[in-house]
Structure 1
Amino acid sequence: MGKLSLTLLGLLALLLGAGVWVGLGLIGSGIMVLSIFRPNMPVEKLLAQQIWNSAVSAEMLALPLFILMAEILFRTKLSEALFSGLAPWTRRLPGRMSHITVLACTLFAAVSGSSAATTATVGRITATELLNRGYDRKMVIGSLAGAGTLGFLIPPSVIMIIYGVLAEESILRLFMAGIIPGGLLAASYMIYLAVRSILDPTLVGKAPPSTGWSEKLAALRGLGPVLLLILSVIGSMYGGIASPTEAAGVGVAGSILIGLFQRSLTVRNLAEAVYHAAQTCAMIGFIIIGAMFLSVGLGYLGLPAYIAASIQSLNLSPFVLVIVLLIFYAILGCIMEGMSAIVMTLPITLPLILAAGYDKVWYGVFLVLVVEMAQITPPVGFNLIVIQRLTGDRIGTIARAALPFFFIMAAFVLLIAVFPGIVTWLPDTLSQRN
């Protein structure tokens, strides 16, 4: 097994280091190791089978629709509506309008499913507005980097769909599992911003003009479209009215209606959204095919079982195992995009977690959290790149500003390791009722 492990790592390092697409690198590595260590296996039939299985998976049908919904909403005026609707309600909070970024990202995440789309859509308005109003630059950038990652945790989530397909777990249960952790993580960000503002009042700008209750309630009308879309998409799934795929279709229709209502969606914008959604889906689909092929191939070779048995022989406690995996993914996130890291390591790490007593739903939320951490770690943290395009700051500057939110996420991972019911209570409760 030592030769197999070294050969696989060498092939992956060679192909991915040479700039080969991740999906193609996974497929190429799988073909080579199977050809070397199982020369009699019909590799071409195995690859064709995995391509077919991925293409006809019912769970995968929701993925392109949710991605298309995010692309359409990115081209609407939803970010302006979120800012104007939330601003009057944050005046008296410690930290004032700095909380708008977290709240807006939380709401947009519930209709997006993408961390990058959440960061870009919310940030293009909130970052500019807060900086112009005198808010501390590091706090503004850091809160956007941290809160933008909620697009992966709060359902609907693209990463959860991918994980559900690879781990053969219910997409709906994964979506339900992300609600409470997503809300608690957003609340943790807001508590941090409030404490920072209390300790150093110079970090926040001047308070917005005082508004009465009539004006506050009127401002909520701007949140109406996004709240209605959240209710339609999330509510239809949890109410048993629609499957994730059907809810995704409702989301696409709702996002088009929002764009038409705001008069911001043109035929050209819609065509661009479809084009970019197709590009993203092709990229993700290619990675999933490569990951499933490599996973099945390694299963035939016995590598995941061997590594799992080796680690189990160390007799690590479940909590220590979670810490080890947290450190492992934090380091891996510095050199590899989060989704690629998950699909490459899942065949090995999932059996370890199951043996430690955690379930697939819990591990799905764990992986989403570590992917969120990877989104704000240089040099490949994608949220950092998105914010750099918005603000013009250097990647290192943005990463330092995001560091407190990185540690908040790490602490939250340890919290759900100690109290896994934070993740599993809601899906288990709703499953029992149904």
Structure 2
Amino acid sequence: MELMITFLLIGLLLAVLGSGLWIGLSLLGVAVFAMETLTSRPTGDSMALTIWGSTSSWTLTALPLFLWMGEILFRSKLSEDMFRGLAPWLERLPGRLLHVNIIGCAIFAAVSGSSAATCATIGKIALPELKKRGYPDDIAIGTLAGAGTLGLLIPPSIIMIVYGVAANVSIAKLFLAGVLPGIMLALLFMGYVMVWSLLHPGAIPAAGERTSLREKLHASRHLIPVVSLICLVLGSIYSGVATATEAAAFGVAGSLLLSKVEGTLNWKTLKEGLLGATRIYCMIGLILAGAAFLTLAMGFIGLPRHLAEFVGSLNLSPFMLILALIVFFVVLGCFLDGISMVVLTISVLLPTVEKAGIDLVWFGIFIVLVVEMAQITPPVGFNLFVLQSLTKKEISTIARNALPLFFLMLAAVLLVYFVPGIVTMLPQQMR
């Protein structure tokens, strides 16, 4: 009976999502239907209490602040300066300036926390430059699609904040846990670019004049603002000086200061940045509220308990459970965005995950990695939409270009499973 109800609700949710209704309203609608037809609980009172509780958490305050910081930087000259500072160091590396996509995304990820903002910001400056210099579109777009997902993994990460709130896990520990996997994934992407460029030697433009070490160091001065902002945000968290929310406030203040110094801060950009962050947070807040109420409805019906009991009865080994969850999240990512996936499934999955003896900090990084994979899978891969708006190419073409990066992410998931210290080593140093 419970299995039939599960399939009914999933089918109803997919049907409503397929109709084009907003994700948050879809989740709320299915939750209201479940509460009214399958329970005797008062729907209105339950909805009011749940929505207030899910959106009034102090920890969640970091989310709109990091979003605002990303919007401010998006409108500054930071990305242009980053390209100018990195380019001289990459001229002799196989693949040359293609690595700017990856390193640029990794650096910007450390100050934005958003995959879409990272992909859009680096894409706007890197893609025209690479095209102008004769680099192939396919590999440039593919690496940008994959590297843009680093915005989810390298702290500060918006989705880590959402997971930390949903799973009651330390956000500071999650941020620490994402550092080494983020660096590892960036190195995997760079390795792929090197191998591709060696296999296609004629596709990469010839190197220009060799620059001296002095010239490289002089160009590196353009990286000072972004490195300073990273140190301010992450250093304040890891040193214990500030919480994630306070560090986000530092990040906003620092990004406003940088924008002012660069001359890009005016009333227009300030208003556009504030409105942009407000729109995105309202969308996320509605999704969080809808998912929280749907989770409550599922709890009243008893589905999480029955589902956990069903998965537990399969007696899957931890490895088989992880493989099943990879498939589950990648399929789910074809219909939902990353934040919806996290808030909709965590309460259902946590009992099973804890029963399997899986560390919740490690599981948070696992979730982020598989959500990253979903960011470049059609039809609802957010990074694919961002790149489509930048390049005007078909979604299928962009997804095909990003496919090798998808498999590298899968390899990263398996690597952190067999070598969990990549994730847990830094958080264990935190008191």
Matching residue of 2:423? 423
In structure 1, C-alpha distance between the alignment counterparts of 2:325 and 2:357, rounded to whole Å: 15
User: In 2, are the aligned partners of 1:98 and 1:204 still within 8 Å (CA)?
Assistant: no
Matching of residue 338 in structure 1 with residue 338 in structure 2: yes
Tell me how far 1:206 sits from its aligned partner: 1.9
Letter in 1 for 2:376: I
CA distance in 2, matches of 1:411, 1:172: 26
Q: Which residue of 2 aligns with 1:273?
A: 273
Deviation larger for 75-84 or 23-32: 23-32
- Give the structure 2 partner of residue 183 of structure 1: 183
The separation in 1 between residues aligned to 2:402 and 2:221, in whole angstroms, is 32
**2:50 corresponds to 1:46:** no
Matched with 1:2 is: 3
Report the Cα distance in structure 1 between the residues aligned to 2:200 and 2:8, rounded to whole angstroms.
Answer: 54
Per-residue CA deviation, residues 232-279 of structure 1 (Å, 9 max, x unaligned), is 000000000111111101100111111111112221011011011111
Aligned residues: 430
**Distance of 1:301 and 1:337 partners within structure 2:** 25
C-alpha distance in structure 2 between counterparts of 1:281 and 1:321, whole Å: 33
After TM superposition, the runs of 4+ consecutive aligned structure 1 residues lying more than 6 A away are none
TM-score (norm 2): 0.97
Distance in structure 2 (CA, Å) of the matches to 1:223 and 1:268? 26
Whole-Å separation in 1 of the counterparts to 2:203 and 2:351: 46
User: What is the aligned partner in structure 2 of residue 132 from structure 1?
Assistant: 132
Q: Distance in 2 between matches of 1:376 and 1:221?
A: 34
Secondary structure of 1:430's match?
coil
Does structure 1 retain, via aligned residues, the 8 Å contact 2:388–2:395? yes
| Contact in 2 for aligned 1:378/1:384 (Cα 8 Å) | yes
Query: In the TM superposition, what whole-angstrom CA distance separates every residue of 1:40-67 from its partner, at most 9, and x where no partner exists?
Result: x122222221222123211111111000
Aligned-partner residue type, residue 32 of structure 1: F
Q: In the alignment, what sits opposite 1:15?
A: 16
The aligned counterpart of 1:197 is 197
Q: Distance in 2 between matches of 1:320 and 1:54?
A: 32
8 Å Cα contact 1:133/1:206 also seen in 2 = no
How far 1:166 sits from its partner (Å)? Answer: 1.3
CA displacement at 1:286 relative to structure 2: 1.1
Give the letter for the 2:272 counterpart.
E
Q: How does 1:120-269 map to 2 (within 5 A)?
A: 120-269=120-269
Q: How far, CA to CA, are the matches of 2:179 and 2:210 in structure 1?
A: 33
Deviations 1:21-79 (Å, cap 9, x if unpaired)? Answer: 2212222222221222222x122222221222123211111111000000010000111
Contact residue 16 and residue 22 of structure 1 kept, 8 A: yes
State the alpha-carbon separation in 1 of the partners of residues 308 and 209 from structure 2.
59
| Structure 1 Cα separation of the partners of residues 372 and 4 of structure 2 | 33
Q: Structure 2 regions of 5+ residues with no counterpart? A: none
Report the Cα distance in structure 2 between the residues aligned to 1:226 and 1:22, rounded to whole angstroms. Answer: 34
In 1, are the aligned partners of 2:54 and 2:289 still within 8 Å (CA)?
yes
- 2:387 corresponds in structure 1 to 387
Q: Which amino acid aligns with 2:335?
A: I
Residue-by-residue CA offset, 1:4-29 (whole Å, 9 max, x unaligned): 21332233123222222221222222
Q: Which shifted more, 391-400 or 175-184?
A: 391-400
Deviations 1:311-336 (A, max 9, x none): 11111111111111111211222233
- Match in the other structure for 1:403: 403
Cα distance, 1:202 vs. partner?
1.8
CA distance in 2, matches of 1:314, 1:26: 29
Percent identity reads 51
Identify which range, 144-153 or 346-355, moves more after superposition.
Answer: 346-355
Paired residue secondary structure (2:211): coil
- Which AA in structure 1 matches 2:5? L
2:32 corresponds in structure 1 to 31
**8 Å contact from structure 1 (residues 88, 208) kept in 2:** no
| Contact 2:292 2:344 (C-alpha < 8 Å) held by counterparts | no
Q: Supply the distance in 2 between the matched residues of 1:180 and 1:266 (Cα, whole angstroms).
A: 37
For residue 362 of structure 1, report the CA deviation from its aligned partner: 1.3
* Root mean square deviation of aligned Cα: 1.4
Query: Match for residue 311 of structure 2?
Result: 311
- Compute the TM-score of the two structures, normalised by the length of structure 1: 0.96
CA-to-partner distance for each residue in 1:125-155, whole Å, 9 max, x for gaps?
Answer: 1111112212222111111011011001101
> Offset of 1:373 from its aligned partner?
1.1
User: Is the 1:4–1:33 Cα contact (8 Å) retained in structure 2?
Assistant: no
Contact 1:287 1:340 in 2 (8 A): yes
Alignment-derived partner of residue 370 in structure 1: 370
The more displaced of 241-250 and 3-12 is 3-12
String of CA shifts for 1:295-348, please: whole Å, max 9, x gaps: 122222221111111111111111111111111211222233222222222222
Classify the secondary structure of the residue corresponding to 2:333. Answer: helix
